[in-house]
């Protein structure tokens, strides 16, 4: 499974990229607004930090303007994935961009039917939002299972990018289902490292080592 980080915080991206665990980055207008800075310049900097796909989102809602935005964003760097919403105009734009060899991430997916349409439109990534479905009493992970099965049935090239992840269990469940990518907030990615027995074991090792009075260097 690939790990993308869901942030526009350049310091967080640099820190996590240094672990070698980051395969890409997803951003959106809300994340850009939260962290401040010029949208285009922030995207350029992110593309210089990570070599994998960096999702940059269109803000227009009509096809003609969205396509212009997508073509402009795609020129920022070779690893840009243009992000469009799962609407009729969004999928028209997805088709046009993907036909031009540009990676497209179709976002705001909440049903298997929508995911099927995105794959047929040539999306490189489909972003089902599991946490937001959980928030309204639906089973977000069930949607992931359905999309993975449908894509497997027809051998679509579209990668299932699990979005709106709220906790480590979302990541593990998605991996068990065979999802291609998890886009994870930095705080949740850091939780994946944590286990009380790891901390306890390390503490015991360090105490035993200190009792020997030795050093390695």
Summarised one tens digit per residue, pLDDT across range 178-209 is 999 999 999 999 999 999 999 999 999 999 99
pTM of the model: 0.95
The half-sphere exposure of 65 on its side-chain side, counting CA atoms within 13 A, is 6
Tell me the pLDDT of the chain averaged across its residues: 97
Burial 199-215 (b: 16+ CB within 10 A, else e): eeeeeeeeeeeeeeeee
Task: Count, in order, helices (H) and strands (E) of the chain.
Answer: 11, 8
Domain boundaries, the chain: 2-212
List Cα–Cα distances, 26 to 8, 81, 153, in angstroms: 8, 9, 27
Structurally, what CATH architecture does the domain formed by 2-212 represent? Alpha-Beta Barrel (3.20)
Helix (H, G, I), strand (E, B) or coil at 137: coil
**How many other CB atoms sit within 10 Å of the CB of residue 125?**
26
Chain-centre distance of CA 17, in angstroms?
Answer: 14
List Cα–Cα distances, 16 to 5, 96, 129, 161, 212, in angstroms: 9, 34, 23, 19, 34
Q: State the residue for tokens 């992931």.
A: 144
Summarised one tens digit per residue, pLDDT across range 30-66 is 898 888 889 999 999 999 999 999 999 999 999 999 9
Band (163; pLDDT cuts 50, 70, 90): very high
For the question of residue 83 being annotated catalytic, the response is: yes
Please identify which of the residues 83, 92, 95, 120 carries the catalytic annotation.
83
| Predicted pLDDT of residue 207 | 96
């Amino acid at each position: 499974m690939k790990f993308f980080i869901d942030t526009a915080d350049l310091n967080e991206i640099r820190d996590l990229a240094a672990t070698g665990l980051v395969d890409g980055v997803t951003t959106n207008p809300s994340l850009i607004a939260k962290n401040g800075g010029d949208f285009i310049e922030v995207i350029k900097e992110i593309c210089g930090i990570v070599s994998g796909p960096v999702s940059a989102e269109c803000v227009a809602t009509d096809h003609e303007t969205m396509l212009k935005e997508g073509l402009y964003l795609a020129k920022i760097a070779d690893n840009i994935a243009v992000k469009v919403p799962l609407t009729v105009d969004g999928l028209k734009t997805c088709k046009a961009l993907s036909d031009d060899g540009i990676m497209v991430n179709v976002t705001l997916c909440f049903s298997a039917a929508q995911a099927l349409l995105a794959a047929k439109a040539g999306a490189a990534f489909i972003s089902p939002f599991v946490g937001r479905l959980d928030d309204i009493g639906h089973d977000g992970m069930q949607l992931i299972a359905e999309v993975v099965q449908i894509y497997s049935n027809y051998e679509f090239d579209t990668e299932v990018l699990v979005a709106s992840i709220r906790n480590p269990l979302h990541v593990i469940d998605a991996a068990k289902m065979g999802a291609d990518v998890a886009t994870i907030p930095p705080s949740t990615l850091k939780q994946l490292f944590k286990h009380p027995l790891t901390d306890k074991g390390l503490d015991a090792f360090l105490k035993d080592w200190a009792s020997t009075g030795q050093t390695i260097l």
